[in-house]
Amino acid sequence: MIEINDVSYSYLGIRALSHISIKIEAGEAVAIMGPNGSGKSTLLKLINGLIFPDTGCYRFQGQEITENQLQDPIFAKKFHQKIGFVFQNSDTQLFCADVYDEIAFGPRQMGLSESEIGKRVNDLLELMQLDAFHHRSPYHLSGGEKRKVAIACVLSMNPEVLVLDEPINELDPRTQRWLVDFLIRLNKSGKTLITSTHNLELVPEISTRSILFDENHGILADMQTQKMLLNTDLLIKANLVDEYYHIHDGEDHVHFHDHIF
Amino acid sequence: MNQKYQIHPVLKVIFTFSLVILLSFSHNFAFVMTILVYTLFSLSLMKGNQILAILKISLWVSLFTFIILLPSNKYSSVMITVKVFTTVTTINMLPHSTKWSSITGAFKFFNIPDIFILVLDIAIKYIVMLGNHALQLIWALKLRSIGKNRDKYQSLSGIAGNLFIKSVEMSKEMYSAMECRGFNGKYITLEKKRLSMVDLLYMLIHIGIVILFFYIGKIVE
Ligand SMILES: Nc1ncnc2c1ncn2[C@@H]1O[C@H](COP(=O)(O)OP(=O)(O)OP(=O)(O)O)[C@@H](O)[C@H]1O
Ligand SMILES: [Mg+2]
- Among A119-123, A219-223, B30-34, B150-154, which stretch is predicted with the lowest mean pLDDT? B150-154
pLDDT (mean) for A179-187: 92
Ligand 1 centroid – CA A41 distance (Å): 7
Q: Where are the alpha helices (DSSP H) in B26-99?
A: 29-44, 48-69, 74-97
Higher-confidence position of A32 and A246: A32
With CA atoms as reference, the chain B residue closest to A93 would be: B177
Among A100-114, A145-159, B8-22, B134-148, the range of highest mean pLDDT? A145-159
Higher pLDDT, A2 or B9: A2
pLDDT confidence of A121, banded at 50, 70, 90? very high
pLDDT tens-place string over residues B26-63: 888 889 999 999 999 999 988 888 899 889 888 988 88
- pLDDT tens per residue, chain B (221 residues)? 344 457 888 888 888 888 888 888 888 888 999 999 999 999 998 888 889 988 988 898 888 888 877 777 777 788 888 988 998 898 888 877 777 777 777 887 778 888 888 777 777 766 666 666 666 666 666 666 655 555 655 666 666 677 677 777 877 888 888 888 888 777 777 666 777 888 889 989 999 999 988 888 766 55
> How far apart are the C-alpha atoms of B162 and B156, rounded to whole Å?
10
DSSP line for A169-199: TT--HHHHHHHHHHHHHHHHTT-EEEEE---
Q: Which pLDDT value is given to residue A260? A: 44
Query: With an 8 Å Cβ cutoff, is B168 touching chain A?
Result: no
Model pTM score: 0.73
The pLDDT of residue B2 is: 43
Residue A253 has pLDDT above 60, yes or no: no
Pairing of the two strands A14-24 and A2-11: antiparallel
Q: Which ligand is nearest to the CA of B172?
A: 1
**DSSP percent split of chain B into helix, strand, coil, nearest 5:** 80, 0, 20
**Mutation target vs A (from B176, B180, B188; most A CBs, 10 A cutoff):** B180
Strands A209-213 and A83-86: unpaired
Give me the mean pLDDT over the A31-47 stretch: 93
Residues of chain A with Cβ-Cβ distance to B99 below 8 Å are 97, 101
Average pLDDT score, chain A: 87
DSSP string, B82-96: HHHHHHHHHHHHHHH
For residue B121, give the H/E element and its range: helix B114-144
Answer whether A18's CB lies under 8 Å from A69's CB.
no
Instruction: State the best of B181, B189, B190, B192 to mutate against chain A, taking most chain A CBs within 10 Å.
Output: B181
Domain residue ranges of chain B, discontinuous segments joined by +: 3-98+192-215, 113-180
Beta bridge partners of A86: A164
Cα–Cα distance between B142 and B152 in angstroms, integer?
9
Chain centre distance of CA B43: 14
Q: What pLDDT, on a 0 to 100 scale, did the predictor assign at position B218? A: 66
What would you measure as the largest C-alpha separation in chain B, in angstroms? 61
Neighboring chain B residues of A96 at a CB cutoff of 8 Å: 100-101, 125
Yes or no, beta carbons of B101 and A109 under 8 Å apart? no
How high is the pLDDT of residue B69? 77
Q: Provide the terminal-to-terminal Cα distance of chain B, rounded to the nearest Å.
A: 46
Question: What pLDDT score does B37 carry?
Answer: 94
Q: Tell me the C-alpha distance between B219 and A58, whole Å.
A: 72
Residues in B touching A153 (Cβ below 8 Å): 181
For residue B182, give the nearest of A48, A50, A106 by CB distance.
A106
Strand partners, A11: A14
Between A233 and A149, name the one with better pLDDT. Answer: A149
Cβ–Cβ under 8 Å, residues A63 and A43: no
Chain B residue closest in CA terms to A79: B182
- pLDDT band at residue A24 under the 50/70/90 scheme: very high
Half-sphere exposure (Cβ direction) of A180: Cα atoms closer than 13 Å: 20
Tell which phi-psi region holds residue A104, choosing left (phi > 0), alpha (psi between -120 and 50) or beta. alpha
What's the pLDDT score for residue A9? 94
Q: What is the per-residue pLDDT for B167?
A: 73
C-alpha A89 – ligand 1 centre gap (Å): 13
Residue A261 pLDDT greater than 50, yes or no? no
The domains located in chain A, with CATH, are 2-255 (3.40.50.300)
Q: Residue A15 phi/psi, 5° resolution?
A: -60, 135
Which residue, among A34, A22, A32, A17, has the nearest Cα to A237 in the 3D structure? A34
Residue range A226-241, pLDDT digits in tens: 888 888 888 887 777 7
